[in-house]
Amino acid sequence: MSMSVIGTGRMGKGLVKILSQAVPNLMWGSRAPDRARMYIQENDFHGVEAVDTETALDADIIVHALWFRDLIPWAHQYEEHLKGKILIDIVNPFTDDFHDFILDWGTSAAEELQKKLPDTRVVGAFKNTFFKVFDQPLHQGVPSDVYVTSDDEEAKSTVIELLQGIPFRVMDAGLLQNNRTIERMTLFERELAVRYGHYPYVSFRLFGQDEEA
Ligand X SMILES: NC(=O)c1ccc[n+]([C@@H]2O[C@H](COP(=O)([O-])OP(=O)(O)OC[C@H]3O[C@@H](n4cnc5c(N)ncnc54)[C@H](OP(=O)(O)O)[C@@H]3O)[C@@H](O)[C@H]2O)c1
> Residue 31 CA to chain centroid, in angstroms?
18
Interface with ligand X includes 78 (CB under 6 A)? Answer: no
Nearer to ligand X, 19 or 211 (CB): 19
The answer to whether residue 66 forms part of the interface with ligand X (CB under 6 A) is yes
Burial 19-45 (b: 16+ CB within 10 A, else e): bbeebeebbbbbeebeebbebbeeeeb
Out of 19, 27, 62, 65, the only residue in the binding site for ligand X (CB under 6 A) is 65
Q: Residue from 54, 70, 154, 172 that binds ligand X (CB under 6 A)? A: 70
Q: Determine if 173 is a binding residue for ligand X (CB under 6 A).
A: no
Q: Indicate whether 166 belongs to the interface with ligand X (CB under 6 A).
A: no
The two counts, helices (H) then strands (E), for the chain are: 8, 10
Q: In angstroms, rounded to a whole number, what is the distance separating the alpha carbons of residues 81 and 2?
A: 15
User: Is 68 near ligand X (CB under 6 A)?
Assistant: yes
Residue 67 vs 101, nearer CB to ligand X: 67
Examine residue 32 and tell whether it contacts ligand X (CB under 6 A). Answer: yes
Of 9-17, 44-52, 111-119, 169-177: span binding ligand X (CB under 6 A): 9-17
| Helix 109-116, helix 68-77: angle, nearest 10 | 10
